[in-house]
Amino acid sequence: MELQTPLTPRTQRTLRKLQSAHNLGAATKITSSSSTLLTQQKLRDSHSRDISPTRRQALNRSPRRHRANSDASGNANLPNLRTASSTTSLHAKRVALSRTPSAADALSLDRLIREGPPGDDVSSALATMRFKVLGQGIKSDIDGMSSSRIYIWLILLDAPVLSTDEYLKLVHRGASPAYAKIRNDTFRTLTTDPLFRRRVSEASLIRLLNAVAWMLHDGKEERRPSSSRQSLPASNSTSPSRGEVSQAFTSSPGARTRARALTLTTEGSDSNTSEPGTYVQGMNVLAAPFLYAARSEAEAFVAFHQLLTKECPGYIRGAMVGVHRGLRLVDKVLGIVDTKLSLYLTSKGLSAEIYAFPSVLTLCACTPPLPEVLRLWDFLFAYGPHLNILCIVAQLIMMRNELLGSLSPNKLLRSFPTLHADQIKAHALAIIKMIPNDVYEEIVNHAL
């Protein structure tokens, strides 16, 4: 039997280029020779690892991505933790700083993921995982990279298992109705962050956002009455659909001058406020940390889609109603915990609508450095993304002296200081004790 020549890095780059988002809008097909090479690569990857189909599906690895090659052994128990995470969610409760000890306490986070909950006690294992994330954090290097972070996120987000092939089907459908708007945003995503630019390509970000846009579009089509549905081809067209209505969000001059490497408008969102849109500007920044932390695009896709549809659907619904509710809550919480600072900012005409829009929409991902964003997200996913409202207020309190001492605090608020996740978490936990239950309930539900 003739042996196949191993693929060279150049060949692999060629395959990735052929599958890149830059070909989503093209009418040409991938040549048969390229398809053959791709098939050979997938078969060789399948035979080279002694992994069962069930476990391979649970790991959600893409064989084309170099950063998806490492094998997180023993993660067959991952779906078991995911299945029950929604039933024990703490999103409707305050952060629990004390709890009943369990057998899972003796295991590290890595062992807990690899071996599963001791005695099949999923509820206690999830509580232990959250507590360890809060107290110890997730081990990572100086660049924020961790071999277990994406799996912990998937569990905490209660993300379903998705095979890589299902993600590739969405990619191969071509350009979504939101493709042109996606391409207009992706090139300016975290442009000043060298870690992100070195690790994540624009093509990867385009593929992810386009696949999510297809999923959201399909969900909208399924909810529509059959008589009003319009068939859209799995098209090569890069133009938005005719029925897609653009609504421009008129921001204040202060908000427009804030350079955050994203456009803060609701252009491209749907006029029906009860339905989620397929893409809103700013989703590119919200997707960036998932691609940075994940080992494959498929993992990043399922985590990002779960966040949008289950945790923060209000952020992409209509005119971003959830984001605007969050902004009002930033003002309300600041007025409760620091009345003096709140009144001073109000006297200068500064409301959260002006300075906090990107921080609410992106869960603070718009503020560098990226490794600190990942550590902050560990906390948010453990106890609920709604806590981002308190994290924004915490950042304002950390800037308190500078803001009160400035005659033009709007200049300071155009760009928040670099993130310090541990300090922000400490302030957020203190704020929780200061706000009444009814306000906390509003915070919990604002993004739904």
Domain membership flag for residue 416: yes
| Residue 429 host element (H or E) | helix 421-432
Q: Is the pLDDT of residue 261 over 80?
A: no
360, 389 Cβ separation under 8 angstroms: yes
Domain boundaries, position 138: 75-156
Domain membership flag for residue 328: yes
CB atoms within 10 A of CB 320: 27
Domain boundary among 124, 156, 188: 156
220, 276 Cβ separation under 8 angstroms: yes
Of 309, 141, 144, nearest to 212 (Cα)?
A: 309
Q: Is the pLDDT of residue 226 over 80?
A: no
What gap in Å lies between CA 65 and CA 47, rounded to an integer? Answer: 17
394, 417 Cβ separation under 8 angstroms: no
pLDDT score recorded for residue 152: 96
Of 288, 334, 328, nearest to 445 (Cα)?
A: 328
Average pLDDT, the chain: 76
Q: Could you tell me the two tokens for 297?
A: 């695009």
The region, left, alpha or beta by phi > 0 then psi within -120 to 50, assigned to residue 282 is left
Q: Could you tell me the two tokens for 375?
A: 């550590």
Domain boundary among 156, 185, 220: 156
337 and 425 inside one domain: yes
The residue ranking higher by pLDDT, 196 or 58, is 196
| pTM to 2 decimal places | 0.73
Confidence label for 119 from pLDDT (cuts 50, 70 and 90): confident
Domain membership flag for residue 238: yes
211 and 101 inside one domain: no
For the domain that residue 208 is a member of, what is the CATH number? Answer: 1.10.8
What gap in Å lies between CA 46 and CA 434, rounded to an integer? Answer: 54
Q: Is the pLDDT of residue 113 over 50?
A: yes
pLDDT score recorded for residue 101: 78
Q: Is the pLDDT of residue 18 over 60?
A: no
What is the tens place of the pLDDT at every residue in 293-340? 999 999 999 999 999 999 999 999 878 999 999 999 999 999 999 999
Domain boundary among 122, 156, 190: 156
305 and 227 inside one domain: yes
CB atoms within 10 A of CB 343: 12
What gap in Å lies between CA 414 and CA 417, rounded to an integer? Answer: 10
pLDDT score recorded for residue 184: 94
Of 439, 438, 347, 445, nearest to 393 (Cα)?
A: 439
298 and 342 inside one domain: no
What is the tens place of the pLDDT at every residue in 330-383? 999 999 999 999 999 999 999 999 999 999 999 999 999 999 999 999 999 999
Domain membership flag for residue 181: yes
What gap in Å lies between CA 46 and CA 278, rounded to an integer? Answer: 34
Domain membership flag for residue 31: no
168 and 303 inside one domain: yes
Query: How many Å is the Cα radius of gyration of the chain?
Result: 22
Domain membership flag for residue 194: yes
348 and 420 inside one domain: yes
What gap in Å lies between CA 267 and CA 246, rounded to an integer? Answer: 5
For the ranges 65-69, 283-287, 374-378, 380-384, the lowest mean pLDDT is seen at 65-69
297 and 360 inside one domain: no
197 and 151 inside one domain: no
337 and 390 inside one domain: yes
Q: Is the pLDDT of residue 39 over 60?
A: no
Domain membership flag for residue 428: yes
Peptide bond into 369 cis (omega under 30): yes
pLDDT score recorded for residue 98: 61
104 and 174 inside one domain: no
For the domain that residue 369 is a member of, what is the CATH number? Answer: 1.10.472.80
416 and 284 inside one domain: no
What gap in Å lies between CA 213 and CA 211, rounded to an integer? Answer: 5
What gap in Å lies between CA 400 and CA 404, rounded to an integer? Answer: 6
Domain membership flag for residue 393: yes
What gap in Å lies between CA 448 and CA 431, rounded to an integer? Answer: 22
Q: Could you tell me the two tokens for 126?
A: 């999830």
The domain tally of the chain equals: 3
429 and 336 inside one domain: yes
